[in-house]
Structure 1
Amino acid sequence: MLSAERYLLLLDHYRVMDPDTIVEVSLEELAELFHCTERNVKLIIRKLEEEAWLRWHAGRGRGVRSRIEFLMSREQFLLDTAMQMAGDGDYQKAFQLMKHHGDRTAARDRFVDFLNGHFGSNRIDEGQQDQRDIFRLPVYRPPVSLDPARLFFSFDSHLIHQIFDRLLDFDAREEKLLPALAHHWESSDDARVWIFHLRKGVRFHHGTEMTSTDVCFTLNRLADGQPNRFLLETMIAAVPLDSRTVRISLSQPNRLLPRLLCSAVASILPADLVQGDPERYWQLPSGTGPFRLSRWTPERIDLAVHEHYFQGRAYLDEVQIAVMPEDIPTETRQKWGQILASDSRLTVRPEHNWGQIRTLNKGCSLISWNRRKNGPQRSIVFRQAVELAVDRWGLSRTVGEACRPARSYMPATPDFPTLERHEPETAQRLLEESGYDGRPIVLLTSPAYRNEAEWLQDRLAEIGIPLELRFESHQAIYQAELVLEADCILQNLVIAEDEVCELENYLQESSYMRQHMDESLLRWVKRNLDHLFTAHLPEQRKALLRQIEQRLLDEHQILPLIHRAMNTFVHPSVRGIDINKLGWMDFKDVWLVSEAQERSRESLVSPV
């Protein structure tokens, strides 16, 4: 990288654009340019010659200047260097290079075109019988933590699902529990004691066999002061009855426990590694999942297949995830939307023959009002006025054509369309009734929601509410001091695991919705959740959750805005893609076909 920077410095200093350009120089000039001695200049020039970027023609005789013959054009050099960086996984450095040196050249567009072919599927032949199937894709937010006990973000949850397993799985389509690490489970009549029977022969990525010791360690660790301890808040202890049997004792009945244990938060860890050297373990955590983490840097995440996965080996051999700079322009991201579940902000178009998967995001973007802080937002009349001032259909059209207005967490079914209320005149009347004095309202959000925030700022200004926008990084926005300083927060709520995700909103310590509720509302929510845990039927639990949500809506504690559309365009060679509850594709289900296989398949269905 240092040599490349020095070559670019020469190109820029002497304004060289074309190959085979020759310029006259002196060692003294180059020493000043490189801020080094003339002796070091000779070493630098020799290194650049070894890279075949230039030729050095030394001047012979007094007063005869030396010459540099540039062998690579500026544009080609930028492109080759950026491509090499991308190949090494240094995507962010490659974009920094283009940002500083290639903005006004064709090299930047050519690099984006290169990445368009670089991302996606790739088959590497290793002899006649062997081939490696690799899937590459970009993301714009690195994982914050892969510790399930500290899990909060959806991308982190998706990665945890690839690396770890849980005692049970939940089939969202069929709405039923499935065996996973546990092959059978049972409970006492009062649902205070649960017994889980573990599979034999399940191995962690580092080779040791999973036993009840690992399960008990994981669950007791989760319940002991971790940010996600709400999941096991009523657990007294998890104890091994033998190497394949675990007993969980609770302080009160909880019939939802098996469903809670399907959550990524309850992913099972290897006790020996976490206890032995936790700092080293979390650098490359080992689980029992279909993929093992083989590389984790700020720029790149590599997942290698777990050859002996107990539910069957994944088809892919490797998944490479590039962590891209967040400030990449939208038009650049659009070129890569074909392989991602892109949200509605990207108006991606597929290539010829590419398949499309479109889903409506489970969850919605919403505003949470801070009723712990003094200010006009504590008035229910003020909050109602804001709601009536918001034209959700207008916001939906601004964000993306496939978005829909939201009146609750989950999208309405086609048989029950959303009834929109947009009454700015009523909103202004309510503002007057609330005694609003015109003070600015501080809205906290992340840069990903800039369009929505600025649209809201314009709409509220029309009824006399100045909205001050404060943008913080996706990770920082959940810090307690920022949550409690803001009058309101705009974020996207993902309901990936139905009941469990809704419980997180009300019980997880870092939940901004929980932190914004006043004490009386929080106590009422907690009482309803106690009833929920003892409910026998799923329908009873759903009814209790709907009651909680309805009270939040009635009091305008939350203001749902829009349901985002998720679009994925898939190359014909990529099969098995289905968008999961987190808005991602499960890598275990992805498989690839070669061009020859695709042509053969087409011949079977083509008319003779």
Structure 2
Amino acid sequence: MELSDAHFMRLAAALESPGRPEEPIRVTIEQLSGLLCCTPRNVKFILRRLEEKGLISWKPGRGRGHASSLSFLRSSEEILEEHFRELLAQGNMKEAIELIGTLEASSHHLRERLWTELNRQMGFHSEPETPSGQDVLRMMRNRQIGRLDPAFVFTAFEAYIIGQVCDTLVSYNDADGKFLPGLAHTWEHSEDFTRWTFYLRKGVRFHHGRTLTASDVKYTLERLFEVNSPSLWQYRDVAEVKTEGEYTICFCLSRPNLFFLHLAGSLYLSILPGDVGVSDIPVGTGPFRVANLNEDVLTLTAFDTYYGIRPLLDRVEVWFLPDQKGSERQYELPGTDTDELPPLNQYDNSIDYAALGCRYIAFNLQRQGAHHRKEVREALRILYDRTALIRELGGTRYTPADSFLPWVSKERRIEERSLEEAAKLLRLAGYAGEPLRLSYTPKKEEGEEAEWLQRRSRLVGLNLVLHPLQFGRSAEEIMREADLLISEELLEDDWEWGMMNFYKNERNYPHLLLGRANSDMLDRELENVFQLSPCDRAASLLRAEQLARDNFWLLHGCHLNKRATLSQSLLGLHTGLFGFLDISKLWVKSADKNRQA
């Protein structure tokens, strides 16, 4: 903001009459000197500057100490709005967002207007003033991104970004359940499935310019063991990795593995260059490279020498607004964490998709409490009724879940049981009103479900205490503080791998919360899963899920229907990992019909 505008704002805040901004105000130079913290001489210079800019009308009083007349010709809200637009035009999104945050609660309508203007800057934009005509996507997230390291990828959004920056040897095609070439153009296995060989494409470049070779694949896998990645459960059978020339890599296994293509296509095995040290900014071979990453923004730029089809977008900016989690003016493009959509029907091009997975409640059996009694957990199964959730809360909940897999839930009969049954189970368990702490993240629907479940629990005498968590809380903190946890699991398109990862990854809640004895029971169900045929493998996964369901270790909630709401200038809509839009295929339709991006 220009200094003269800042002076105007200070004077307006102190002197402007609400509702009558142009009414003359009697004031002395000495008063203004105190307000502006400067000498009377400088006050006169400032007043002349404000008059030249058409911000005020000034009529000096006659003689020393006599009152003068000051009129504000524009309102402070107009100046703020003008400055806000200047910040947006300059690409200073952080400063613009911070400006909104400085507004007082009484400036409600101004805040609404500024959020509306900010939303107009989100989504797709063409920048024809640049020599090449840059096409840019901007979006906002209500929390900062975690560690962008394939060895430790945890949240869906981190995985989504890594999938745009890095590539794997093969990729899973959910349309037919088969694998497509990735960095490897073809592959083969020995008759007994103990040796898998991949033949790499030639001329593939990393973002830092070097050509991919087999040694990079070997380095990537060995690094997972060096850093003790939570993904190691899937690579324990790898006895040796051999490079046979620059473009052939062999994995020698200690026992047969019919599932190895799924592991080769796992995000954990996103190929990294062996000559680049560990960094907050990953270097990959993907369609986008990380140009900038800090606490405010992640900037991706198209990788011009990508071995596949270059993205049609030139730049993607993801702005982090951790303090705006509840704002209706927050705009998240794909897979929003809240139900909030852009205001005023600005964006009337949308895509709906049923997320693979569901929301659920997990019990923390690492903490002592009444929830160790199976009857108490079953009572909560009745209280956390999926049919009633949809009927009473609606939202993105579209069908009751009895599995992470919608097609399995559809085959099951899910009955709505009475609250009296829940009360009877509590009496049978000898429950005496002990408090149970229910934790959940600040996502809107999770908060709704927590409050809804608390109200139902009171009806049967269950003392459920709500304990909201902040984004970024560590698993260790959750284990210390929560008896129950509302969470959400979104499975990869490769759902078999996703289910295995949920139950076998030591960073996931079954291992963290259920305790050693119970997680060992789950592990035994999946002990030899890599050696099974596809049919037997699926049956094994469903048995593990049934074990968790029968013991009420995990209570499935509802399957969710996600929506991305976007500008009509958006074309090339394709959902990718976890239902997020594949930004490598998106493009902007220019307002100029003679130009196409």
TM over 0.5: yes
Q: Which amino acid letter does the alignment assign opposite residue 170 of structure 1?
A: Y
- What does residue 195 of structure 1 align with? 197
What is the deviation of 1:68? 7.0
Q: 1:394 to 1:574 in 2, by over 3 A?
A: same
Alignment of 1:302 with 2:287, yes or no, is no
Q: 1:78 to 1:102 in 2, by over 3 A?
A: farther
What is the deviation of 1:558? 0.1
- What does residue 606 of structure 1 align with? none
Alignment of 1:380 with 2:383, yes or no, is no
- What does residue 583 of structure 2 align with? 587
Is 1:577–1:589's contact at 8 Å kept on the other side of the alignment? yes
Aligned mates of 1:39, 1:292 — CA distance in 2: 55
Alignment of 1:109 with 2:112, yes or no, is yes
Alignment of 1:446 with 2:433, yes or no, is no
Aligned mates of 2:10, 2:288 — CA distance in 1: 43
- Secondary structure, aligned partner of 1:292: strand
Alignment of 1:250-269 (within 5 A): 250-269=253-272
- Greater Cα shift, 51-60 or 206-215: 51-60
Alignment of 1:527 with 2:530, yes or no, is no
- What does residue 146 of structure 1 align with? 148
Q: Which amino acid letter does the alignment assign opposite residue 311 of structure 1?
A: G
Is 1:370–1:484's contact at 8 Å kept on the other side of the alignment? no
Aligned mates of 2:528, 2:384 — CA distance in 1: 35
- Greater Cα shift, 352-361 or 288-297: 352-361
- What does residue 245 of structure 1 align with? 248
- Secondary structure, aligned partner of 2:406: coil
Alignment of 1:380-459 (within 5 A): 380-397=374-391, 398-400=393-395, 403-412=398-407, 416=411, 419-448=414-443, 449-459=446-456
Is 2:365–2:515's contact at 8 Å kept on the other side of the alignment? yes
- Secondary structure, aligned partner of 2:157: helix
Aligned mates of 1:219, 1:147 — CA distance in 2: 13
What is the deviation of 1:209? 1.2
Deviation readout 1:330-386 (Å, 9 max, x if unpaired): 5334xx47x544467347799599444222211111110122222111111211111
- What does residue 238 of structure 2 align with? 235
Deviation readout 1:516-540 (Å, 9 max, x if unpaired): 22333222222332311122x3222
Aligned mates of 2:482, 2:555 — CA distance in 1: 15
Extract unaligned runs of 5+ from structure 2.
none
Q: Which amino acid letter does the alignment assign opposite residue 142 of structure 1?
A: Q
Is 1:370–1:487's contact at 8 Å kept on the other side of the alignment? yes
Is 2:400–2:409's contact at 8 Å kept on the other side of the alignment? no
Q: Which amino acid letter does the alignment assign opposite residue 120 of structure 2?
A: G
- Secondary structure, aligned partner of 1:365: strand
- Secondary structure, aligned partner of 2:148: coil
- Secondary structure, aligned partner of 2:528: helix
User: Size of the alignment, in residue pairs?
Assistant: 587
Deviation readout 1:53-78 (Å, 9 max, x if unpaired): 96797999743678877564211122
Which residue of the other structure, out of 120, 123, 131, is the alignment partner of 1:120?
A: 123
Alignment of 1:89-100 (within 5 A): 90-91=92-93, 93-100=95-102
Q: CA RMSD in A?
A: 3.5
Q: Which amino acid letter does the alignment assign opposite residue 65 of structure 2?
A: G
Normalised TM-score (structure 2): 0.88
Aligned mates of 2:528, 2:273 — CA distance in 1: 34
Alignment of 1:168-247 (within 5 A): 168-224=170-226, 225-247=228-250
- What does residue 572 of structure 1 align with? 568
What is the deviation of 1:142? 2.0
Aligned mates of 1:549, 1:51 — CA distance in 2: 74
- What does residue 460 of structure 1 align with? 457
What is the deviation of 1:118? 1.6
- What does residue 137 of structure 2 align with? 135
Alignment of 1:365 with 2:359, yes or no, is yes
Q: 1:66 to 1:242 in 2, by over 3 A?
A: farther
Q: 1:243 to 1:71 in 2, by over 3 A?
A: farther
- Secondary structure, aligned partner of 1:97: helix
What is the deviation of 1:116? 3.2
- Greater Cα shift, 42-51 or 69-78: 42-51
Deviation readout 1:544-593 (Å, 9 max, x if unpaired): 11110011001111001111211233443311112234121000111232
Deviation readout 1:392-436 (Å, 9 max, x if unpaired): 222124141652221111224796365233221111111111111
Aligned mates of 1:44, 1:464 — CA distance in 2: 72
- What does residue 509 of structure 2 align with? 512
- Greater Cα shift, 372-381 or 351-360: 351-360
Is 2:514–2:553's contact at 8 Å kept on the other side of the alignment? yes
Normalised TM-score (structure 1): 0.86
Aligned mates of 1:457, 1:553 — CA distance in 2: 22
- Aligned identity (percent) is 29
Which residue of the other structure, out of 145, 160, 163, is the alignment partner of 1:161?
A: 163
Aligned mates of 1:235, 1:22 — CA distance in 2: 83
Deviation readout 1:89-116 (Å, 9 max, x if unpaired): 5545434432432543332222122123
Aligned mates of 1:531, 1:48 — CA distance in 2: 80
Alignment of 1:543-582 (within 5 A): 543-582=539-578
Q: 1:527 to 1:262 in 2, by over 3 A?
A: same
- Secondary structure, aligned partner of 1:238: strand
Q: 1:599 to 1:328 in 2, by over 3 A?
A: same
Aligned mates of 2:12, 2:338 — CA distance in 1: 41
- Secondary structure, aligned partner of 2:565: strand
Q: Which amino acid letter does the alignment assign opposite residue 541 of structure 2?
A: L
Is 1:227–1:510's contact at 8 Å kept on the other side of the alignment? yes
Q: Which amino acid letter does the alignment assign opposite residue 449 of structure 2?
A: E
Q: 1:527 to 1:103 in 2, by over 3 A?
A: same
Alignment of 1:495 with 2:496, yes or no, is no
Is 2:325–2:442's contact at 8 Å kept on the other side of the alignment? no
